Structure 1
Amino acid sequence: MNNENMLSDNSTQTSQINETIDQPIIYILDTNILLHEPFAFLSFKEHDVVVPMTVLEELDSIKDRRKDVSRDARVAIRALEDTLRDASPEQVLAGVKLPQNDDQHPSGSLAIINDYALEKTAHTLSFNENDNRIINAALHIQKKTPNKKIVLVTKDINMRLKAKGAGLAHVEDYRTDQLIDDIQFLTKGYHKFEGDFWQQIQSVDSETEGRNTTHYVSRETVPSTYINEYLLDDSGTFAGKVTGWDDDKLAILDLGRERLLAKNAWGIHPKNIYQGMAMDALLDPTIDLVILTGPAGSGKTLLALASALEQVIERGLYDKIIVTRSTPEIAESIGFLPGTEEEKMAPWLAAITDSLEVLHQQDESMHGSLNYIMDKANIQFKSVNFMRGRSIQNALVLLDECQNLTAAQLKTIITRCGEGTKLVCSGNLAQIDSNYLTAVTSGLTYIVERFKDFPGSATVNLNGVVRSRLASFAEENL
């Protein structure tokens, strides 16, 4: 193609962009946004979305890799194809109207532009890198539509810096799935009162059924509470759990600190009140989802495993224990591991086997005890990668290290849980290994916030390291 034809194509493309992109904001998506959430292009409401051709090429190169991310690439490609299936090439370039969610909120459009066809000027970056071509596309649209707000959306911090340096006015991270702005605001699962709780109560009605006493106090006592939230005070005796409310009254189940600290599961007793609250939730058959957060050494894995053994072997509430976690991509550097799925997963679930050894270290033959318990409790080690499509019935599922999972991956696992299944999710938001996740965008943070109002779930942040004084000092000072 000669230069005149190239310039003609460029001017045609520019005029089409000028004519058709007329919404308040135009969002240009980077590849990692569609890998993070394949349907992200549907999340911008009435605003327009532009996908550069380089993004499609990167998705195409990723879709055949042997990684979890390849599935997200394929889903994103299919979603884009479904949206643009009946559109002509001119319409794709101009922008195809996106599906409308409801009558009150109009939807924007989706366009694909050929960023290779854009002219190179003194102000554009080199076209040798994919990131640069996407930035150049955003700069081009910003120049041709100066009356519109042009936003490049990427999770790549360095790319955001490069775009700013190249002259792009607006660059953002993808925050549609971000429910909180700061991790300090993440729900801890309990509310602590200063002083004595009962000194702050004007009136109370109580009723007792068996061992359980429920108090009804003014709703204003804890105006922003949620179901199954634990309540503590500084008196050292009071501990309760919110079991319901209406416009006037708040129902609090009286647990008592001594009662929580007296909990027992497979010979394990809580070492602090936070472990007591966690064990109460873990042993409660009415709770289908328990989320444990907290620093390394706070007892998340040990408590979950002890409670699982107690309920499967001693109480017979579940038929089996399924232990699963994501396998980090760094595993590829040591090659393929031999053996069955359980044997392949063993290196990644060493925390579970370590906890099993702690629970049976006083036995005469620890090795024999471990083999007996593995068989008696029907403990199965599974990879998150193979959980899709399953339906897990009457099992207790332990999902370890879930801070490295996205919201979509956690949804896949949670929706596998069938009748009679309990799921325990544990993780430490300070130990995220993923390149695309932060503490506020982690799937663990997402489910903590999404499930806090669900009557069948409970969250507990285990505050305090009990592993050793060395671990405790390291957690506080390193």
Structure 2
Amino acid sequence: MNDVQSCYLLDTSVILDDPLNILRISENNENIVVITDIVLAELNNKKDDMRSDAGFRAREFFRLSDNDKGSTITFDDLPDCVKRDSDAAACRDDLYYRLVLPFEPSVLGNRDFDNEVPLYIVYRSDYRISRVFDEKKGLNDAKIGEIAKDYGLTLLTNDISFKIAAEVQDIASESIRNSRVENADAIEFAHSYYYNDEPFVDDEKEHNDFEQMTFIQKAKSEQNEIYETGIQRYAINMHNTLEWCDFDRRFGEYFDEELVRPINLEQKFYYTILTHPQNSVTVVAGSTGSGKTLMALQAGLELVKEGLVEGIVYARNTVTASDPQAELGYRKGDQEQKLGYFMYPLYSAINFTIEHQTKRSIEAKVEYTGNINTTKRENATEQFMAKYNIEVMDIAHMRGTTISRKFVIIDEVQNMTNATMKLIGTRMGEGTRLVVMGDAHQIDHPFLSKRRNALVTLLHKAQHSDFVAGIQLRHVIRSEVANWFDKNL
């Protein structure tokens, strides 16, 4: 418990990041949370936006607010930390409202928190800054800053320009970084160890389930020189026990010839994790060409063939590279045709698999060989998808559904907010396996960055959880042209 209660004034950006930030900032009502009428108006303007995540979170805020637990209050009814440093003359004509936000107990996890958080709203009819502010943009920020200064409150904002402007005016300001992950590239799930006689993991090092281990044997020559023998053994950690992986056997003569084999160590670990009987959720990060989608499809096909799942569902975030005219609603055709534009990674993996199967088939029927026309190629793809019960789905249509006994592939997760990822995760039913994938260096979402998106959040979670299996695919198989553009632009 803090000896002195802290008071925070929230900028609109903090609530649009996640309304749950109000609950986090209150810290079980140890801190006081305040907003202004300006923030309320900006949220109100956002709530009718049905196409953006910001609009969704604005509506979430008002859903929380839609109760009978609000009332007008006087200055004397304000918490002491709000009144303590206030400028009596500047705040003389302000009005106040106390709104209680009831958060669902489920969002509290295992913490014994009070799920009702009081939110104090300051109304000011005449902002002094309005008389002198002559910039085209930023007036609302300036008004919020005026309230922060007059009441001596700490401003919380994720808008860096607003934060700088506040600091210049000597207004205490902070940013909330609850969903920010620093240096996601450094998150590692693969580890290498050297051994002499028998492989072992140092007892002092803790590993979560599904972390990947490579053991490299070393020996001493007659001249007392240490050298690597060339013998390597592989394992994944399961319940603090090494589960050995015989990749030669797993992907050798016993591997289904109709499936595309993993071609490097990372892909072999990836495939093994995806098909592991105790794994339900996998997060994988890797650039284009690392085999994310192709290997996920192969794992799903194996699970379908073995009867462990009833089909494969592929969903890809339909955020385009800053081209609003290319978004789903602007495309021609019905839903299936619209989605087809965004499903090229899946179709590419399917056609590659068909070509692989055709090369090994005694009698090639309509399957794609690379020498047939587009119509036959489309027929082959459709037949393949029907055979293995593969369906594509728009993420927006997952709300209100439950997906059971399926192998679900979610692509382009770096362009998703945590709220969208939560929506998807809560749609998963019994017997379903979920793999989410993306490349944190390919952000197209206007409100996300490489430090704040659902992919890096899940990678961070996988570091500290046995429930989520994480893997980074760093080995990329691509053309010289693609490599050049990746490294030089």
Shorter-chain TM-score above 0.5: yes
- Tell me the equivalent position of 2:82: none
- Tell me the equivalent position of 2:192: 192
What is the SS of the residue equivalent to 1:445? helix
Q: What residue ranges of structure 1 are gaps of 5+ in the alignment? A: 1-21, 202-216, 246-250
Report deviation, 1:402: 0.6
Deviations 1:309-366 (A, max 9, x none): 2322x32322121111222265642453333322221111111112212222353541
Instruction: Note if contact 2:14-2:156 (Cα within 8 Å) is conserved in structure 1.
Output: no
What is the SS of the residue equivalent to 1:357? helix
Moved more, 228-237 or 100-109: 100-109
What is the SS of the residue equivalent to 1:87? strand
Of 175, 178, 198, the residue aligned with 2:177 is: 175
Instruction: Note if contact 1:342-1:380 (Cα within 8 Å) is conserved in structure 2.
Output: no
Instruction: Note if contact 2:208-2:466 (Cα within 8 Å) is conserved in structure 1.
Output: no
| Counterpart Cα distance in 2 of 1:397 and 1:144 | 51
| Percent identity of equivalent pairs | 24
Alpha carbons of structure 1 residues 427 and 103: separation in structure 2 relative to 1, 3 Å: closer
How many residues were matched structurally?
423
Give the aligned residue type for 2:60.
Answer: V
| Counterpart Cα distance in 2 of 1:87 and 1:107 | 15
Instruction: Note if contact 1:260-1:273 (Cα within 8 Å) is conserved in structure 2.
Output: no
- Tell me the equivalent position of 1:271: 263
Report deviation, 1:228: 1.5
Give the aligned residue type for 2:128.
Answer: E
What is the SS of the residue equivalent to 1:174? coil
- Tell me the equivalent position of 1:386: 397
Instruction: Note if contact 1:290-1:423 (Cα within 8 Å) is conserved in structure 2.
Output: yes
Q: What residue ranges of structure 2 are gaps of 5+ in the alignment? A: 78-94, 218-230, 359-363, 369-376
Instruction: Note if contact 1:115-1:133 (Cα within 8 Å) is conserved in structure 2.
Output: no
Matches within 5 A, 1:343-362: 343-361=337-355
Deviations 1:198-229 (A, max 9, x none): 5674xxxxxxxxxxxxxxx6632xx2311121
- Tell me the equivalent position of 2:18: 37
| Counterpart Cα distance in 1 of 2:177 and 2:260 | 41
- Tell me the equivalent position of 1:119: 128
- Tell me the equivalent position of 1:157: 160
| Counterpart Cα distance in 2 of 1:341 and 1:171 | 46
Measured on the aligned residues, the alpha-carbon RMSD in Å equals 3.2
| Counterpart Cα distance in 2 of 1:98 and 1:404 | 29
Instruction: Note if contact 1:138-1:150 (Cα within 8 Å) is conserved in structure 2.
Output: no
Task: Give the TM-score normalised by the residue count of structure 1.
Answer: 0.79
| Counterpart Cα distance in 2 of 1:177 and 1:32 | 13
Report deviation, 1:87: 2.0
Task: Give the TM-score normalised by the residue count of structure 2.
Answer: 0.77
Alpha carbons of structure 1 residues 243 and 144: separation in structure 2 relative to 1, 3 Å: closer
- 1:54 and 2:38 correspond: yes
What is the SS of the residue equivalent to 1:120? helix
- Tell me the equivalent position of 2:84: none
Report deviation, 1:191: 1.9
- Tell me the equivalent position of 2:51: 67
Alpha carbons of structure 1 residues 197 and 53: separation in structure 2 relative to 1, 3 Å: farther
Instruction: Note if contact 1:26-1:47 (Cα within 8 Å) is conserved in structure 2.
Output: yes
- 1:301 and 2:283 correspond: no
Alpha carbons of structure 1 residues 391 and 181: separation in structure 2 relative to 1, 3 Å: same
Matches within 5 A, 1:270-289: 270-289=262-281
Report deviation, 1:264: 4.6
- Tell me the equivalent position of 2:382: 371
Matches within 5 A, 1:91-130: 93=96, 109-120=118-129, 125-126=133-134, 129=137
Give the aligned residue type for 1:279.
Answer: Y
What is the SS of the residue equivalent to 1:361? helix
- Tell me the equivalent position of 1:76: 61
| Counterpart Cα distance in 2 of 1:310 and 1:105 | 47
Instruction: Note if contact 1:286-1:456 (Cα within 8 Å) is conserved in structure 2.
Output: no
Deviations 1:87-138 (A, max 9, x none): 225468265677798789999752212355322388x744864x43233322
Report deviation, 1:32: 2.7
